[in-house]
A and B are shown apart, each in its own frame.
Chain A
Amino acid sequence: MTTKLVGAKVQRVEDQRFLRGQGRYVDDIDVHAGTPTLHAAVLRSPHAHARVRDIDVEAVLDVEGVHAVWTYQDLADLSVNLADPLPLLIPHPALTHGRTQYALAKDEVNYVGEAVAFVVADDRYLAEDAVDRIRVDYEPLPPVVGIDAARAAEHLVHEDVPGNVGARLEQEVGDARAAIADAPHRLSLDLTVERSASTPLEGRGVVARWDPDIGRLQVWTSTQTSTGVRAAVAVKLGLDLGQVDVITPDVGGGFGVKINHPWPEELLVPAAARALGRTVKFTEDRREHFISAAHERGQVHHVEVGFDDDGRLLGLDVTFWHDHGAYTPYGLIVPIITSTQLLGPYKPQSYRVVFESLYTNTVMVTPYRGAGRPQGCFVMERTMDAIAAHLHKDRTEVRATNFIQPDEFPYDQGLVFQDGRELEYDSGDYPRSLEMIKRLVGWDEFEAFRAEMAAEGRRVGIGLACYVEGTGVGPYEGAHVHIETTGKVKVATGLTTQGQGHATVFAQLVADELGVPMTDVEVVTGDTRRMPYAVGTFASRSAVMSGSAVHLAAKRAKEKVLRIASDALEADVDDLEIVEGVVSVKGSPGASIDLGTVAVLSNPLRYAFDEKSRAATQFTVGDPGKPPVAEDDEPGLEGKDFYSPERSTFASGMHAVIVETDPDTAEVRILKYAVVHDCGNLINPMIVEGQIHGGIAQGVGGALYERMAYDEHGQLLNASFMDFLMPYVTEVPDTIEIDHLETPSPLNPIGVKGAGEAGVIPSAAVFAAAIEDAEAHDHPGLAITGMPISPSELFALRQAQEPLLKQHEEDA
């Protein structure tokens, strides 16, 4: 009997390559098509806002080893569509003033880092030399930096966008303002989250090769959507879709930033490959990634809340301002997610949310792991803590009062989610999660621990935060399963992989369904030659979407296996089983046929090419009275299927942390971190836990360290790993205690929900709560309202409390 792989901590199959240095990332791709690969470099704007008066490329033209220098003026000659603005990927009726950049700046630049000119040379060194020689005459314009400046609108980012407002969106359930006015208790809060970024260790990169013999373009790109890039490249370069293949090789991390597409370089590199008839490569460097990819998180929120004596939310009214940077290629996804996912596991009696999405002269904003949820969670959970403090109640009690109960699913929040569908939660058990997290972190024993620590002169605090995460959004994913005549199983799904272990988890699903050893299953992702219909990897959707599709495709393949085997073995389908790649009749092990032979029989042949295939040739098999392939059948042992759910699945979880704050230096130390996590059925708990670990590290970064430090001129001051503080091992919790709750999703055949982003969502909220709690005794009233919080900022908050405390003592 084969043991079940789904649900087990199966070691990753892809690691063998990675550990030997045999990964193939985009910069490793070297296509020797007779001539060596050429390299591209990009001239980027040094100004946050300027008119481009003139570009002089004269000095570059005779540099040896330079093959092309392009500015906006050259684009139309390369392809008519290339001179148009880049696509606005996700239009929304509320995005009344959406703007996107050009592949190379036309007349105006709107952030430091915007692409202005493009050079192709023999190698990257020469290309950069050439870039240095281009002279641009800029007329600087006043930059708009930060949400305050954008709202003040003293200057405009785009002349034709009044007030710098790209979009305004309002949703309301019930009459929140009236409910707040009538509520026995009211509070208002102002909460801020700073900019951070995905910052994968591998930046962006593209390689393209034009094959003149077959008129076909091959593109390798470090993306989260190969089909998206393929469609964009085809349109922009004026090619038929069938002429473009996009292959996503190994990707060194994505975390959201690589879902945006096409980047200017994703069009310019293929255009250059076609124009020059050579393979061309662009590999982004670290500074470029900081200033010309994308950021996220920057939002300012104002909350009005009305509640009863138990802390029950009667009315919640949230207004927020979202800094989307200079352009809006990804539409309103991030603020829409904040505005809907803010509600978490709670059911306020009325809710109104309104946001403005604002232009600034900074790098544009597209989703970063969590995608607006960390901000929403921060807002909701800070509000919960404030209510508890106001009512002198335990923070968990106030939360429990507001939970959606297990018997209330499916629960419709009455809002429209990021996919344009109802925000309807499929399943969950929040009271149970709360119980589990309290036990795991030692919530009820904490006061004793606090007293113990206080006796040693140490300050500790505890925080807790809950979230619900809409995962696995549509529209669909597909999968193709092919059983070869060797018995090996080739699986393809179109979404891409950037570290999630898809080659392992999808193989687990297939191996279980088909009854084959995992070593016989090979998974390919993100290759449009193998699966041309796909959406992409984002919104914690891979396990849900491709997982389900892979499962369904394997099921179809299995049906065919059994049908053919039942003919061959002259047995009823129901009496067959597949174990270790062999189909046999249950209870009579002699009657069996291996999958490879079934594959041979599935494909009637005219020509034999080996011993095995002789069995399928025309004088050997088939009923001469019937067509070799039945009317409703196809040759080959394959299964293909798509999964397209009605709506998202809703994973959930709770984090709790115990921190210690240094009384003198205000440094924050993490003493304990606990997680209760519900992503439905687990395919591979080892991988899910890895995702949680990684998410928490990014959450710690966002809570305590990471911010994009722009000066008033729009210069990013910390555009290096030296200055942008990503956590090393020394900054993350030494251990993370994880407990799983599994409430299967009823929406998909494998009962899973997404897990990729969860770890990062509650971090800001949980740290704010714990730090505030640690400070509460010595600095009562000290409120953490902005993230991240550095030791100096915590120190400043303490200082601000001092005069108040003195006053208090004097009064007493």
Chain B
Amino acid sequence: MTEELHEIRLHVNGTSYALTVPGRRLLSDALRHDLGLTGTHVGCEHGVCGACTILVDGAPMRSCLMFAVSAVDAELTTVEGLADADGSLGPVQQAFLECHGLQCGFCTPGFLTTITAGLRDNPRPTHAEAREMVAGNLCRCTGYQNIVKAVERAAELGAGR
């Protein structure tokens, strides 16, 4: 039994990669293990925790619920693509650092991508909106208070603009 393989290209953080994958290869696995972009994490593989969230054409998506072959036409952004062009931390990353928004760091990439997209849609969230923005991601370490603070701080730093 040999699996049919597909030759595809993925566009991630502005770089185009060629890879050969079976149809069932999850996008999360392709990013992590085929392209070596291990910043995207897998916490549940069933779409609930949000650790694997990446931006697909700017919109947050759970890469564990997508196949690599279905992402060929999209522009993908992972946590590795969130730093500023000069290499310094992007505003959402900087806000997490300042607010102690992470402990073990496993959920963090999913929060960073989610918030990046969230603040783009709503650069000046109210406190309730800041909470709402991260309400679909699980973190087992921080208790979320500092993550919400980080959303507000990132907005101050101009993340959405």
What are 25 inter-chain pairs, A to B, with CB distance below 8 A? A18-B105, A19-B93, A19-B102, A19-B105, A19-B108, A30-B36, A201-B51, A201-B104, A251-B104, A255-B140, A286-B43, A286-B45, A499-B141, A500-B103, A686-B100, A692-B143, A693-B143, A698-B140, A720-B46, A722-B46, A726-B138, A728-B137, A729-B134, A732-B144, A734-B148
Alpha-carbon separation in the docked complex, A28 to B28 (Å):
12
Closest B residue to A735 using CB positions: B145
How far is A728 from B2 in the complex, measured between Cα atoms in Å? 42
> CB distance A286 to B103 under 8 Å?
no
Across the interface, do A23 and B105 meet the contact criterion of CB distance under 8 Å? Answer: yes
Check A690/B100 contact, CB under 8 A, given A20-B79, A25-B41: yes
Q: With the chains together, A18 CA to B138 CA distance in Å?
A: 17
> Does A253 sit at the interface, judged by CB under 8 A?
yes
A18–B78 CA distance with the chains assembled, in angstroms: 13
Task: Let me know if A694 is at the binding interface, CB within 8 A.
Answer: yes
Residues 104-140 of B contacting A (Cβ, < 8 Å): 104-109, 112, 127, 131, 134-140
Q: Are B141 and A28 in contact (CB under 8 A)?
A: no
B37, A202: Cβ atoms closer than 8 Å? no
Q: Bound state CA distance, A726 and B78, in angstroms?
A: 25
The reply on A696 being an interface residue by CB < 8 A is yes
Distance A729 CA – B114 CA, assembled complex (angstroms) = 14
A721, B48: Cβ atoms under 8 Å? yes
- Nearest-CB residue, chain B, relative to A500: B103
A250 touches B105 (CB 8 A): yes
| B157 is an interface residue with CB less than 8 A from chain A | no
- Chain B residue with Cβ nearest A11: B97
Residue among A21, A63, A687 with max Cβ neighbours from chain B (10 Å):
A21
List residues of chain A with CB within 8 A of the CB of B148.
729, 734
Q: In the complex, what distance in Å separates the CA atom of A686 from the CA atom of B147?
A: 14
CB-based contact A286/B98 at 8 Å: no
Number of B residues near A (Cβ < 8 Å) is: 59
Closest to A251 in B: B104
Q: A19-B93, A125-B25, A694-B141 are in contact. List 17 more A-B contacts (CB 8 A).
A: A14-B105, A19-B102, A19-B105, A21-B38, A22-B39, A23-B39, A25-B106, A64-B1, A64-B2, A250-B105, A252-B106, A286-B44, A286-B46, A499-B104, A697-B140, A722-B48, A736-B143
Q: What is the CB-to-nearest-CB distance from B160 to chain A, in angstroms, rounded to a whole number?
A: 18
Complex: A17 Cα to B49 Cα, angstroms = 21
Judge whether A728 and B1 touch: CB under 8 Å. no
In this assembly, does A200 line the interface, its C-beta being within 8 Å of a C-beta of chain B? yes
Contact A201 B143 (CB under 8 A): no
Residues of chain A with a CB closer than 8 A to B102's CB: 15, 18-19, 499
| B interface residues, Cβ below 8 angstroms from A | 1-2, 22, 24-25, 29, 32-33, 36-46, 48-49, 51, 78-80, 82-83, 89, 93, 96-98, 100, 102-109, 112, 127, 131, 134-148
Known contacts being A27-B42, A125-B22, A202-B41, is A694 close to B140, with CB within 8 Å? yes
Residue of A nearest to B142 (CB): A694
Of A15, A199, A250, A501, most buried by chain B (CB within 10 Å of CB) is A15
B54 CB to closest chain A CB, in angstroms?
A: 11
Query: Which B residues lie within 8 Å of A255 (CB)?
Result: 140
A12 on the B face (CB < 8 A):
yes
Q: How large is the interface on A (under 10, 10 to 19, 20 to 34, 35 or more residues)?
A: 35 or more
The minimal Cβ–Cβ distance linking B116 to chain A, given in whole angstroms, is: 12
Point out the residues of chain A lying under 8 angstroms from B78, CB to CB: 21
Residues of A within 8 A of B96 (CB): 15, 19
Q: How distant is the Cα of A657 from the Cα of B89 in the complex, in angstroms?
A: 37
Contact B103 A501 (CB under 8 A): yes
Tell me whether A201 and B79 are in contact (CB under 8 A): no
Query: Is A3 an interface residue when CB atoms closer than 8 A count as contact?
Result: no
Residues of A contacting B43 with CB < 8 Å? 201-202, 252, 286, 721
Partner of A252, one of B29, B33, B36, B105: B105
In the complex, chain B residues whose CB is within 8 Å of the CB of A729: 131, 134-135, 144, 147-148
Closest to B43 in A: A201
Tell me how far the C-beta of B103 lies from the nearest C-beta in chain A, rounded to whole angstroms. 4
Within 8 A of B (CB), among A778-812: none
Instruction: Assess whether B145 is in contact with A693, with CB atoms less than 8 Å apart.
Output: yes
B103 nearest in chain A by CB position: A499
* Bound CA–CA A30/B127 (angstroms): 41
A199 CB contacts on chain B under 8 angstroms: 140
A285 within 8 A of B: yes
B49's partner among A63, A698, A721 (CB-CB below 8 A) is: A721
Give which listed residue, A21, A253, A736, contacts B80 with CB less than 8 A: A21
Within 8 Å of chain B (Cβ to Cβ): is A730?
yes
Among B38, B106, B127, B144, contact of A200 (Cβ-Cβ < 8 Å) = B106
Given contacts A500-B103, A721-B48, contact A690 B142 (CB under 8 A): yes
Q: Which residue in chain A gives the minimum CB-CB distance to B109?
A: A21
Against B, the Cβ 8 Å flags (1 = close, 0 = not) of A15-47 are 111111111110110100000000000000000
User: How far is it, in angstroms, between the C-alpha of A579 and the C-alpha of B127 when the chains are bound?
Assistant: 44
Q: Which residues of B contact A110 (CB under 8 A)?
A: none
B33 contacts across to A, CB distance below 8 A: 30
Is B104 touching A253 in the complex (CB atoms < 8 A)?
Answer: yes
From B1, B40, B106, A253 is in contact (CB under 8 Å) with B106
Proximity string of chain A (483-502) to chain B, C-beta cutoff 8 Å, 1 when within and 0 when not: 00000000000000011110
Choice from B32, B108, B127, B137 contacting A18 with Cβ under 8 Å:
B108
In the complex formed, the residue of A with least CB distance to B113 is A21
Contact between A728 and B107 (Cβ–Cβ < 8 Å)? no
Beta-carbon nearest neighbor of A701 in chain B: B140
Name the A residues within 8 Å of B138 (CB-CB).
201, 721, 726, 728
Contact B103 A694 (CB under 8 A): yes
Residues of A within 8 A of B141 (CB): 201, 253, 499, 690, 694
Tell me, in angstroms, the Cα distance from A28 to B37 when the chains sit together. Answer: 9
> Which A residues, 198 to 254, have Cβ-Cβ distances below 8 Å to chain B?
199-202, 250-253
CA separation between A286 and B41, bound complex, in Å? 13
B97: chain A residues at CB < 8 Å are: 11-12, 15-16, 19
A-B residue pairs, 7 tightest by C-beta: A21-B39, A252-B106, A499-B104, A18-B105, A693-B143, A499-B103, A21-B79
- Which A residues lie within 8 Å of B48 (CB)? 720-722
Chain A residues 705 to 756 lying within 8 A of chain B, measured CB to CB, are 720-722, 726-730, 732-736
Decide: A28 and B32 in contact? CB cutoff 8 A.
Answer: yes
Bound form: Cα–Cα A17–B145 in Å: 22
Q: Which of A12, A18, A689, A692 has the most CB of B within 10 A?
A: A18
Q: How far is the CB of A537 from chain B (nearest CB, A)?
A: 12
A:108-133 near B, CB below 8 Å: 124-125
In chain B, what residue has the closest Cβ to A126? B3
Question: How far, in angstroms, from A285 to B64 measured CA to CA in the complex?
Answer: 12
How far is it, in angstroms, between the C-alpha of A17 and the C-alpha of B105 when the chains are bound? 9
Is B135 in contact with A728, judged by CB distance below 8 angstroms? yes
CB distance from A42 to the nearest CB of B (A): 16
Q: How far does the Cβ of A741 sit from chain B's closest Cβ, in whole Å?
A: 21
Name the CB-closest residue of B to A684. Answer: B100
Q: B106, A20: Cβ atoms under 8 Å?
A: no
Nearest residue (CB) in A for B94 is: A19
State whether A20 touches B105 (Cβ < 8 A): no
A201 with B100, Cβ < 8 A, contacts A27-B32, A286-B46, A728-B136 known: no
Find chain B residues with CB under 8 A from A695 CB. Answer: 143
**Bound complex: CA A16 to CA B83 (Å):** 11
Bound together, the chains give a CA A16 to CA B112 distance in angstroms of 13
Q: What residues of B have a CB within 8 angstroms of the CB of A20 in the complex?
A: 39, 79-80, 82-83, 89, 93
Q: A216 to chain B: closest CB distance in Å?
A: 25
Q: Is the CB of B104 within 8 A of A498?
A: yes
B100 and A12 contact, CB distance less than 8 A: yes
Contact of A730 among B82, B103, B131 (CB under 8 A): B131
The answer to whether B106 touches A201, judged by C-beta atoms less than 8 angstroms apart, is yes
Cα separation A125 to B100 with both chains bound (whole Å)? 37
Chain A CB count within 10 A is highest, among B78, B108, B112, for B108
